[in-house]
Structure 1
Amino acid sequence: MPGKRSSDIMSAGPVRKRKKIDLEQKMKIVKKYEGGQSLSSIARELDLATSTVKSILNDSARIKEHVKGSAPLKSTVITKQRSGAIYEMEKLLTIWMDDQIQKRVPLSLMIIQAKAKSIFEDVKGKYSDPNAKFVASHGWFNRFKQRANFHNVKVSGEAASADTKVAEKYPEVLRKLIEEYGYTAQQIFNVNETGLFWKKMPDRTYISKEEKTTPGFKAVKDKLTLLLGGNAAGDCKLKPLLVYHSENPRAFKGISEVNLPVHFRSDRKAWITMALFEDWFINLFIPEVEKFCRENDIPFKIMLIVDNAPGHPAHLDDFHPNVKVVFLPLNKTSILQPMAQGVIANFKACYLRRTFAQAVEATDRETGKTLHDFWKSYNIYQAIINIAKAWEEVTQVCLNAVWKKMCPQFVHSFKGFEKDKTYEEVADEIVKLAEQLELEIDVGDVDQFIESHGDELSNEDLMELEAAKVKEQTEAEDEVEVVEEPRHFNTKEMALAFREIDSALARFEKMDPNSSRFLKVNRGIDETLACYRQIYEEKKKATIQLSFNKFVMKTEQPATSTSPQPSTAKAPSDNPNDVMPVSSSPSSSTN
């Protein structure tokens, strides 16, 4: 039989290339189908064969199970589900390594092996063979790296440390670069990432102790990552970038993320990834500093100093001709990075002070609310508001003084740049607020709290994080989504709010013997509320106009006539003989 001609092969249509489909894409296909999209529509959208999509949907239960089991989402093969003490140890070890990488802590094979053995000893008691042994061999580590998708993680033979001699020489190198390009203090910026356990309390508070003993009350390990920064002059404080593990937290219902006082982004591990940093640099940082230069009549010529974090792309310098990116020497962040020299510590102290002040206010009211109740109801949206306000409280003096080690020529004051007077005052206020809450803490506890955000996660912490992750996934699956109406203004509520404010001011006026002081306060409040009053007046006018339009439309409609309509019937006559003929009906007819 003759072979098939080439023309026949060509007419058979294009040959579809085989594609590797990872777990992430498989989950997208499952979600699209469960959301009501048809099988053929999904196939067309993703350029896949209909049979391929059908096979994935038939295997959806196993796909979901593997995603729950922390399988790497970029994996293209679903292997046999593993279980037991070693499997649990590897899940916890993955969380620990992620945390260490995010903190830029150098990892050695010896350190990883020791941590793996330590975790295994803590978890093996829950399984059938409590006397099981685990040898963290090189072979096991290589297989673990592949399973956990740590292909690009560099593991050194020995943990590196900051080289103070190189750090001492670097400011002079940077000074020459600044002079060569002619940058001023207002044109030089630094940013740095920091983790924040937004629901954490100092260790000696009874809430912190209760968290260690009460099942189900361990939210303190819920972490987010912030990118904070500003210029060397201290007069340009950048809007914070905040990365959280949840894309749509429950606390955001009815709230637009665009209007948040931070740039909100999400990542499964709450990391500032390379893609997120690049997006921030191009779409947020450059427009913000360009606007700052324009408003202050400064040439748009910027130097951004960053460290060599894994999430900082090496090609940042290529994105904009007016923005030069300078990378700090490896392992010198702790010595040189301005934001790490006191700004972040001040910010975290201000954040703790705000949360304590809110706790005092909540428990002072006649609501019967306890500190425990307040802390359980404290959510990520409230934390974001406090983060923004705490960042506002970091002073220009602090933002300028922390450049002493890197750019001493720009610093106006050399007093207490690491923990300036502001930090000490804030710490004292926190202690006083704690006394009102009947908590026994001192300034040393505040220092320990600030530093604890960078502590290594213990085995107990890792187990809590994994349990919280499983619980969150279960709740998300069981939750029935309720579509809530977005927040909006209405005239009735606004009028009520203005009346309450006026009533409160009237009370102060009655009590205040100093009329000029009251008038000053009254003017300040009026100016602050001016934007809300403008919205109120506009909405009120719109309501009146709408009512008027409805009235006009109603009056312009043709009225229904009530006068008698002409009849085709003959008019009655005064003559009694003039009788109208009556048509006969079948019932009246005679045979």
Structure 2
Amino acid sequence: MAPKRAPSSKAGAEPKRQRRMMMIAEKVKLLDMLKEGRTFAAVARQYGMNESTVRYIKKEKANIRKTATITFCKSAKRVVTARNKTIVRMESALAEPEDDSGDCEEDEVDVEDPQPGTSSDSPRKKWQFSASKGWFAKFQKRYGLKSVSLQGEAASADTIAAETYVNETFKKIISEGGYRPEKVFNMNETGLFWKRMPSRTFLFKEEAKASGFKAYKDRVTLVVCGNAAGFLLKPGFIYKSKNPRTLKNKNKNLLPVHWMYNPKAWITKMLTSDWFHQCFIPQVKVYLAEKGMPFKVLLIMDNAGGHAADLSYSGVQMEFLPPNTTSLIQPMDQGVIRAFKTLYTRNSLANLVSSVDAAQEDDDFNLKAYWRQYTIATCLQNIQKALQEMKPATINASWKKLWPEVVYDDKGFTLAEIQHSAVQKAVQLAAILGGEGFADMTTDDVNELLDCHSQPLTDEDLEELMKSASEEEEEEEQQETEEVVSPTGLTLERLAEICRLAKDLQEQSQEWDDDMVRSPRLGQ
């Protein structure tokens, strides 16, 4: 066998160029030189690289300049890797809506150009594609795709039943009842993890590894109800205990929500009845009286298990949506609930930033300590702020799929615009806070947090929630029994108070009595 060829050792041979990583700022400067009229060869000599590399950078100038404008750190590096053309074409096809005209049954694709730079004359061959987790994550990001876990009605939405209800049943109900938009209401409930941050933040991680019940799983249920004219009622609020410590001695009738409680913090038929009679009826009566309208309303609900089917009240007509149509036509599900949660998240971060600003001179400020002190009272304050930002026009817009005839032009923000604006603001506030998971928070992180509110609790989570509710109630009862009763008899505090009053009396007598001998004795 012939020996392997030894490496060339000619005196004039040039050493192999080492691959050099260029920073974004350097690439921008290179592009500016080309823009000034310098040749590719001249620029390549100045930077000590191949002319082909300079041409490639010129080809990518749009991406490079875009990256430079949004990069916070001018020394950040950007690596541009040439991607397989076949994979690019395959991803484009995958991102297109599904075509029912044919089915793709093969796991292999025809490859004309297996690697960038190979000749187009190379023979076509089958290439087995194996998708990794990293590729799928980047594919989602490139095409703006979201991972949506469809559960319950969303997974089996009945489009035909929804269309039939909108075009026939609902129109008939409105016509026969003579209902105006002010008299037609929709109610739905939603979960809210009131003390949760995006999963990459250190606050979330600290709570996740903490012993005992995890605060980021502490959930409440909100009962949201609004009418087709854009009026949003005070929401029902279901907490895990009756009287939490932070609301002790507070008049719950003055809260921005209708307070209810359940160890699992979720809706039941009994709580639905409570909300209907103690929250819905009183508010609607006042609302219609102010409008000068008689009390005759239509209340639309879905057929969820926790909704009582036997609710009745004079002047109220109850209607239930067909099964599996909630995600398609129920107004409160058409953006109202999600927009509210987005505003709540933004307000939570704004509250945190305000606390940091107020304590700028206090070196002892601790973000984790603040978050542990974020109580249900703080939660209610942020809920109130979010409700105040929900405009009537945006509530009215949520009825577009069920009752499009009553939706008027929105001169303010739409539900989608409110959500987008609040998400962007949340990202900006997170950047102000800084720290792990905050400084580099993205809109995807915020949207992931919003999606998690729809995730059901596991049996283990429910057990922990009920356990924490029981412990909280025991602490409340113990505090009530341990309250110190006012002591009787002459104590040191009362003796000091007597001496103070005697001194005041003596000074007053000296001021009023001309007898300088008698007046000082009055206080003795």
- TM-score tier by shorter-chain length is 0.5 to 0.7
Partner of 2:65: none
Partner of 2:275: 280
CA contact (8 A) 2:235 2:258 kept: yes
* Separation in 2, partners of 1:484, 1:409: 63
1:349 to 337, 342, 347: 342
Query: Structure 2 counterpart of 1:361, which letter?
Result: S
Against the structure 1 CA distance between its residues 332 and 452, is the aligned structure 2 distance closer, same or farther, given a 3 Å change threshold?
A: same
Partner of 1:203: 199
Partner of 2:504: none
Query: Structure 1 counterpart of 2:448, which letter?
Result: Q
Query: Aligned-pair distance for 1:412?
Result: 1.4
Partner of 2:251: 256
Query: Aligned-pair distance for 1:417?
Result: 9.8
CA contact (8 A) 2:186 2:332 kept: yes
* Separation in 1, partners of 2:212, 2:342: 27
* Separation in 2, partners of 1:466, 1:283: 25
Structure 2 residue 260 is matched with structure 1 residue 265:
yes
2:271 is paired with a residue whose SS is helix
1:220 to 206, 216, 219: 216
CA contact (8 A) 1:189 1:303 kept: yes
Query: Aligned-pair distance for 1:481?
Result: 4.3
1:242 to 237, 241, 256: 237
Query: Aligned-pair distance for 1:214?
Result: 3.3
Partner of 2:313: 319
Partner of 2:428: 432
Query: Aligned-pair distance for 1:216?
Result: 4.6
Against the structure 1 CA distance between its residues 460 and 451, is the aligned structure 2 distance closer, same or farther, given a 3 Å change threshold?
A: same
Partner of 1:59: none
Pairs within 5 Å for 1:136-155: none
Q: What residue ranges of structure 2 are gaps of 5+ in the alignment?
A: 1-152, 486-507, 509-524
* Separation in 2, partners of 1:335, 1:431: 30
TM-score normalised by structure 2 residue count: 0.58
1:420 is paired with a residue whose SS is helix
Structure 2 residue 451 is matched with structure 1 residue 457:
no
Query: Structure 2 counterpart of 1:263, which letter?
Result: H
Query: Aligned-pair distance for 1:471?
Result: 5.5
CA deviations 1:389-408 (Å, max 9, x no partner) are 21121121210111111111
* Separation in 2, partners of 1:484, 1:255: 20
Partner of 2:382: 386
* Separation in 2, partners of 1:228, 1:289: 14
CA contact (8 A) 1:242 1:264 kept: yes
Pairs within 5 Å for 1:42-441: 161-172=156-167, 173-216=169-212, 218-234=214-230, 236-316=231-311, 318-320=312-314, 322-364=315-357, 365=359, 366-367=361-362, 368-413=364-409, 419-438=415-434, 439=438, 440-441=440-441
Aligned residues: 327
* Separation in 1, partners of 2:281, 2:212: 43
Against the structure 1 CA distance between its residues 446 and 179, is the aligned structure 2 distance closer, same or farther, given a 3 Å change threshold?
A: same
* Separation in 2, partners of 1:237, 1:263: 13
Against the structure 1 CA distance between its residues 464 and 268, is the aligned structure 2 distance closer, same or farther, given a 3 Å change threshold?
A: closer
* Separation in 1, partners of 2:353, 2:294: 47
Against the structure 1 CA distance between its residues 455 and 300, is the aligned structure 2 distance closer, same or farther, given a 3 Å change threshold?
A: same
2:156 is paired with a residue whose SS is coil
* Separation in 1, partners of 2:302, 2:484: 42
Query: Structure 2 counterpart of 1:197, which letter?
Result: F
CA contact (8 A) 1:404 1:417 kept: no
* Separation in 2, partners of 1:275, 1:257: 19
CA contact (8 A) 1:342 1:418 kept: no
CA contact (8 A) 1:226 1:243 kept: yes
* Separation in 2, partners of 1:387, 1:433: 18
* Separation in 2, partners of 1:484, 1:252: 20
Against the structure 1 CA distance between its residues 310 and 416, is the aligned structure 2 distance closer, same or farther, given a 3 Å change threshold?
A: farther
Query: Aligned-pair distance for 1:418?
Result: 8.3
Against the structure 1 CA distance between its residues 473 and 279, is the aligned structure 2 distance closer, same or farther, given a 3 Å change threshold?
A: closer
Against the structure 1 CA distance between its residues 264 and 471, is the aligned structure 2 distance closer, same or farther, given a 3 Å change threshold?
A: closer
* Separation in 2, partners of 1:314, 1:179: 23
Q: What residue ranges of structure 1 are gaps of 5+ in the alignment?
A: 1-157, 486-550, 552-591
Superposition RMSD on alpha carbons, in Å? 3.0
Q: Structure 1 vs Structure 2: percent identity of aligned residues?
A: 43
Query: Structure 1 counterpart of 2:171, which letter?
Result: R
Against the structure 1 CA distance between its residues 207 and 314, is the aligned structure 2 distance closer, same or farther, given a 3 Å change threshold?
A: same
* Separation in 2, partners of 1:417, 1:192: 23
CA deviations 1:200-245 (Å, max 9, x no partner) are 11112111122223335721111111111111010x2101111111
Structure 2 residue 448 is matched with structure 1 residue 443:
no
* Separation in 2, partners of 1:358, 1:160: 36
CA deviations 1:301-346 (Å, max 9, x no partner) are 2111111122222222x421x2111111112212111101100111
Query: Aligned-pair distance for 1:283?
Result: 2.8
Query: Aligned-pair distance for 1:347?
Result: 0.6
* Separation in 2, partners of 1:181, 1:335: 24
Partner of 2:15: none
CA deviations 1:254-308 (Å, max 9, x no partner) are 3222221211111122122212211221232122112111111223221111111
Query: Structure 2 counterpart of 1:174, which letter?
Result: F
TM-score normalised by structure 1 residue count: 0.51
CA contact (8 A) 1:253 1:484 kept: no
* Separation in 1, partners of 2:333, 2:411: 17
* Separation in 1, partners of 2:287, 2:410: 26
CA contact (8 A) 1:401 1:417 kept: no
CA contact (8 A) 1:371 1:437 kept: no
Against the structure 1 CA distance between its residues 254 and 459, is the aligned structure 2 distance closer, same or farther, given a 3 Å change threshold?
A: closer
Against the structure 1 CA distance between its residues 431 and 477, is the aligned structure 2 distance closer, same or farther, given a 3 Å change threshold?
A: same
* Separation in 1, partners of 2:484, 2:407: 50
